[in-house]
């Protein structure tokens, strides 16, 4: 195995779980998330030299994932949001149910327009700054702000009231 | 991430995705990447040899394949005649531009002019039977109902649609209404303004400077605005398919996208135009995400009604095929189950 191949495999290993989580929140389906991440890594490998040279590899690969997701959304985005959301088989403590109706939140997330959805997932799951998100989304920081505000307005309805949405 | 709401959304997101195991199949990834590279090389290599070898064939196909080229005189010219396609059809289309454009008026603009003069059809909504086929998978048929004012109702079954209307389960989110409005504006309005309206239709905020600035350079291609106009125009074409004004506006807008090519053909005996997007229209100008993907929408050449969408690799069969069948209806009839 060449050094480049080794580097690539290391990169896949280090990024797979995070990309998988992001993909799930983008599409709402674990199986589809598997496919999106697999396809993202295919593109990453095809452009590996470019990825290696990128200032921020993670941002570059997130961009590829977002492209894959948008492509999918373009084709099937209007299929209904699933109400029988597959829960992970691994038991998860419902800590957030104190303040959030989880199924409603996911449903609301999946009804957001693709750009808004990607923006809030990058901001609040990946923890990206507005500047990083803008770089991945190829838009201005102002757009990130406005997309985020609108998305939070929608998602805020799923947070049980102790405060106003924003 | 400072506000309590943002912190709670972040925590809820992390909770939603907790503990789901995933191991990528690296050998499958590597094999897919190798296949893609090989296919890319074959396409690239084949083009050079093919240009000479199939010159006679090209001469025939040229007559029925022309670039979309712009409707605006100010932007018409050389930039469009040298449109380069990922599939390497640039020679064919460059030739088409010079040999066919004199004899054949721009098909999209010509059709748009015909449609713009058509009266509004009866009814106030369009029912779309949408059949999606994914490569190697079963076909899925669903029903979309688009009202003329931009509302959108969806059902997996035909019989389920009345309930969606009765419950006013509008899933349009205002975006279709704005896309339709942009297309209607494009029929007689300034195309730069129309392009901006269409590109920014997903937003309710004023368009920012970065996209406003791109309008004046749209004929150069390779801009984000190409992608935004193409994607939103595709939406408008299906959401407003029942309205000839919307179809006319979409065709005028697509005609200014420099990467789009138009090919004449037939489907089930109907004359058709197939609008194939270039790399910039698909957001691939930056290279990330792969440039071999191609999208095409086929419309009836006389009515502009969308018939088919295909998406997939530039060479080989499409990954996705969508067939649309349209019927004009009234919302009241659908709610009452009379259709």
A137-147 confidence digits (pLDDT tens): 877 777 888 88
Phi-psi category of residue B227: left, alpha or beta, with phi > 0 → left and psi -120 to 50 → alpha: alpha
Q: A33 vs B22: CB contact, 8 Å cut-off?
A: yes
Which residue, among A137, A19, A59, A66, has the nearest Cα to B208 in the 3D structure?
Answer: A137
In terms of pTM, does the model score above 0.80? no
> How far, in Å, CA of B80 to CA of B283, rounded?
18
The C-alpha atoms of residue B60 and residue B49 are separated, in whole angstroms, by 18
Q: Tell me, yes or no, if A124 comes closer than 8 A to chain B by beta carbon.
A: yes
Residue with tokens 């420099």: B258
Query: pLDDT per residue over A50-105, tens digit each?
Result: 888 887 888 889 999 988 887 776 655 443 333 333 333 222 333 334 445 677 78
| Long-range CB contacts (within 8 A, 24+) of B197-202 | B198/B228, B198/B229, B198/B232, B198/B233, B198/B236, B198/B253, B199/B225, B199/B228, B199/B229, B199/B232, B200/B228, B201/B175, B201/B232, B201/B236, B202/A113, B202/A115, B202/B175, B202/B178, B202/B232
Q: Answer for the pair B8, A95: CB distance below 8 angstroms, yes or no.
A: no
How far apart are the CA of B69 and the nearest CA of chain A, in angstroms?
A: 25
Nearest-CA distance B264 → chain A (Å)? 24
Rounded-to-integer distance, Cα B44 and Cα A54, Å = 26
* B12 contacts chain A (CB < 8 A): yes
> Inter-chain contact A75–B132, Cβ cutoff 8 Å?
yes
| pLDDT of A47 over the 80 cut | yes
The string of DSSP codes covering A76-110 is: HTTSPPPSSPPPPSS----GGGGTB-HHHHHHHHH
pLDDT at A29: 81
A 13-42 near B (Cβ less than 8 A)? 16-17, 20-21, 24-25, 30, 33-34, 37-38, 41-42
Instruction: Compute mean pLDDT per 10 residues along chain B, 339 residues long, and list them.
Output: 77 84 82 66 40 32 40 31 28 31 64 95 93 76 88 87 91 83 96 93 80 83 81 90 96 93 92 88 47 81 94 78 93 94
pLDDT digits (tens, 9 = 90+) for A93-108: 333 344 456 777 887 8
Whether A79 has its CB under 8 Å from any CB of chain B: the answer is yes
Interface of B with A in 89-128 (CB under 8 A): none
CA distance A3 to chain B (A): 15
* High-pLDDT (> 90) share of chain A, %: 18
Kindly report each contact of residues B189-192 with a partner whose C-beta sits within 8 Å and lies 24 or more positions away, as own/partner.
B191/B71, B191/B72, B191/B252, B191/B253, B191/B256, B192/B216, B192/B218
CA distances from B104 to B62, B139, B220, B294 (A): 12, 38, 23, 26
CB contact under 8 A, B132 and A9: no
Check residue A92 and give its pLDDT.
Answer: 30
On whether the CB atoms of residues B114 and B261 are closer than 8 A, the answer is no
For chain B, the distance separating the N- and C-terminal CA atoms, rounded to the nearest angstrom, is 50
Q: What is the pLDDT of residue B275?
A: 95
Q: What is the pLDDT of residue A35?
A: 86
The whole-angstrom distance between A88's CA and the closest CA on chain B is: 6
Is residue B154 within 8 angstroms of chain A, CB to CB? Answer: yes
- Are A125 and B10 a contacting pair at CB < 8 A? yes
Q: Supply the pLDDT for residue B206.
A: 85
Contact B152 A143 (CB under 8 A): no
**B306: β partners:** B299
User: Within 10 A of B334 (CB to CB), how many other CB atoms are there?
Assistant: 23
Predicted ipTM beyond 0.85: no
Closest approach of A64 to chain B, Cα-based (Å): 5
Question: Which pLDDT score is estimated for A74?
Answer: 63
Of residues A154 and B214, the one with the higher pLDDT is B214
How many other CB atoms are there within 10 angstroms of residue A108's CB atom? Answer: 18
Q: Average pLDDT, stretch A1-26?
A: 88
Q: Inspect the interface and report whether the beta carbons of A42 and B14 lie closer than 8 Å.
A: no
Q: Say if the Cβ atoms of A63 and B20 lie within 8 Å.
A: no
R_g over Cα of chain A: 17
Residues 29-58 on B with a CB inside 8 Å of A are: 29-30, 32-33, 36-37
Residue B183 in contact with residue B242, Cβ under 8 Å? no
CA dist A153 and A166 (Å) reads 7
Give the pLDDT of residue A41. 93
The reported pLDDT for the residue numbered B319 is 75
**Cβ neighbours for B3, distance < 8 A, ≥ 6 positions apart:** A166
Nearest CB to B26: which of A12, A46, A74?
A12
Paired tokens of B58: 């090209």
């Amino acid at each position: 195995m060449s050094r480049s191949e080794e580097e690539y495999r290391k990169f896949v290993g280090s990024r797979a779980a995070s990309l998988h989580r992001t993909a799930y929140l983008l599409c709402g389906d674990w199986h589809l998330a598997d496919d999106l991440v697999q396809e993202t890594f295919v593109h990453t490998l095809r452009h590996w030299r470019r990825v290696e040279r990128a200032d921020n590899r993670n941002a570059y690969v997130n961009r590829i994932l977002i492209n894959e997701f948008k492509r999918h959304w373009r084709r099937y985005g209007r299929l209904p949001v699933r109400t029988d959301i597959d829960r992970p088989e691994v038991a998860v403590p419902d800590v957030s149910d104190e303040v959030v109706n989880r199924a409603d939140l996911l449903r609301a997330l999946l009804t957001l327009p693709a750009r808004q959805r990607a923006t809030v997932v990058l901001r609040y799951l990946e923890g990206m700054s507005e500047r990083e998100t803008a770089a991945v989304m190829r838009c201005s920081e102002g757009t990130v702000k406005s997309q985020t505000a609108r998305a939070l307005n929608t998602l805020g309805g799923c947070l049980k009231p102790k405060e106003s949405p924003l | 991430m400072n506000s309590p709401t943002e912190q709670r959304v972040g925590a809820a997101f992390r909770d939603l995705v907790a503990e789901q195991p995933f191991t990528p199949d690296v050998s499958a990834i590597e094999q897919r990447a190798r296949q893609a590279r090989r296919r890319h090389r074959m396409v690239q290599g084949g083009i050079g040899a093919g240009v000479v070898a199939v010159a006679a064939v090209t001469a025939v196909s040229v007559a029925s394949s022309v670039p979309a080229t712009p409707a605006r005189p100010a932007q018409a010219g050389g930039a469009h005649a040298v449109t380069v396609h990922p599939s390497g059809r640039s020679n064919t289309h460059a030739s088409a531009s010079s040999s066919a454009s004199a004899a054949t008026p721009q098909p999209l603009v010509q059709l748009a002019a015909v449609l713009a003069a058509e009266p509004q059809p009866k009814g106030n909504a369009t029912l779309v039977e949408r059949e999606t086929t994914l490569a190697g998978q079963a076909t899925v048929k669903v029903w979309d109902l688009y009202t003329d004012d931009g509302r959108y109702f969806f059902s997996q079954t035909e019989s389920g649609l009345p309930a969606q209307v009765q419950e006013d389960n509008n899933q349009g989110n205002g975006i279709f209404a704005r896309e339709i409005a942009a297309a209607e504006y494009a029929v007689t309005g300034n195309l730069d303004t129309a392009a901006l309206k269409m590109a920014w239709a997903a937003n309710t905020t004023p368009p920012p400077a970065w996209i406003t600035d791109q309008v004046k350079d749209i004929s150069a291609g390779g801009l984000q605005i190409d992608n935004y106009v193409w994607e939103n125009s595709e939406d408008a074409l299906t959401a407003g398919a029942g309205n000839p004004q919307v179809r006319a506006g979409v065709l005028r807008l697509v005609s200014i996208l420099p990467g789009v090519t138009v090919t004449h053909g037939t489907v089930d005996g109907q004359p058709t135009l197939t609008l194939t997007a270039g790399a910039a229209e698909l957001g691939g100008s930056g290279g990330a995400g792969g440039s071999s993907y191609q999208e095409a929408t086929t419309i009836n050449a006389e009515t502009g009604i969308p018939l088919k969408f295909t998406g997939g690799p530039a060479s080989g069969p499409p990954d996705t095929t969508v067939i649309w069948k349209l019927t004009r209806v009234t919302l009241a009839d659908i709610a009452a189950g009379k259709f």
